[in-house]
C-alpha cells in the first residue's frame, strides 16, 4: 500500500510539474499573455503589470520544484514525505493568491481540480510520513 501511495504521489507531482513548467514558460516567453489569449488587463488590481513574475513563480514553484520532489520521492531521500506535503501547501498558496489577486482569471473547474491535487498531495505525504520509519 505504501509503495502504491508513493507512486501515486510521484504521478501527481510529475503532472503538476509538467503543467507548471509548460505554463510558466509560456508566460515567461510571452509576458503579455498572448500564449493563453489573455491580455494584461486581466492583471488589473494586482501588483503585476505583465505575466513575467507570475510566470517565473509558476515555473519554479509549481514546475521545477514538484519535479525535484518527484525525483526525491523516487530515490527515497530521507523525509521525502515532508516535501510532498510542502508541495501541496505551496499549490494551495498559489491557487489562493491567484484567486485573491486576479478574480478575472478564476476558473472553477481548473481551480477545483488543482485544489484537489493539492489536498491529495498533503494526504499522501502525511500518510507516507506517518508510515515511514526515519532513523
DSSP symbols for 14-74 = HHHHHHHHHHHHHHHH-TTSGGGT--GGGGTTSS-SSSHHHHHHHHIIIIIHHHHHHHHHH
Tens digits of per-residue pLDDT, 119-129? 999 999 999 99
> How many Å apart are CA 97 and CA 69, to the nearest integer?
22
Per the confidence metrics, is the pTM higher than 0.75?
yes
Mean pLDDT (whole number) for 22-41: 94
Say yes or no to pLDDT of 134 above 70. no
Tens digits of per-residue pLDDT, 42-101? 888 888 999 999 999 999 999 999 999 999 999 999 999 999 999 999 999 999 988 888
Is residue 107 classed as helix, strand or coil in its secondary structure? coil
Domain boundaries defined on the chain = 2-131
Amino acid at each position: 500500500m505504501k509503495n502504491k501511495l508513493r507512486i501515486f504521489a510521484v504521478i501527481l507531482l510529475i503532472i503538476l510539474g509538467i503543467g507548471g513548467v509548460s505554463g510558466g514558460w509560456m508566460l515567461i516567453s510571452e509576458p503579455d499573455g498572448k500564449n493563453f489569449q489573455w491580455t494584461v488587463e486581466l492583471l488589473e488590481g494586482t501588483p503585476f503589470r505583465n505575466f513575467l513574475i507570475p510566470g517565473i513563480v509558476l515555473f519554479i514553484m509549481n514546475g521545477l520544484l514538484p519535479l525535484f520532489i518527484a525525483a526525491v520521492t523516487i530515490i527515497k531521500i530521507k523525509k521525502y514525505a515532508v516535501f510532498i506535503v510542502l508541495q501541496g501547501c505551496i499549490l494551495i498558496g498559489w491557487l489562493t493568491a491567484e484567486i485573491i489577486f486576479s478574480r478575472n482569471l478564476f476558473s472553477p473547474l481548473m481551480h477545483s481540480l488543482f485544489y484537489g491535487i493539492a489536498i491529495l498531495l498533503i494526504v499522501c505525504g502525511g500518510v507516507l510520513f506517518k508510515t515511514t520509519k526515519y532513523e
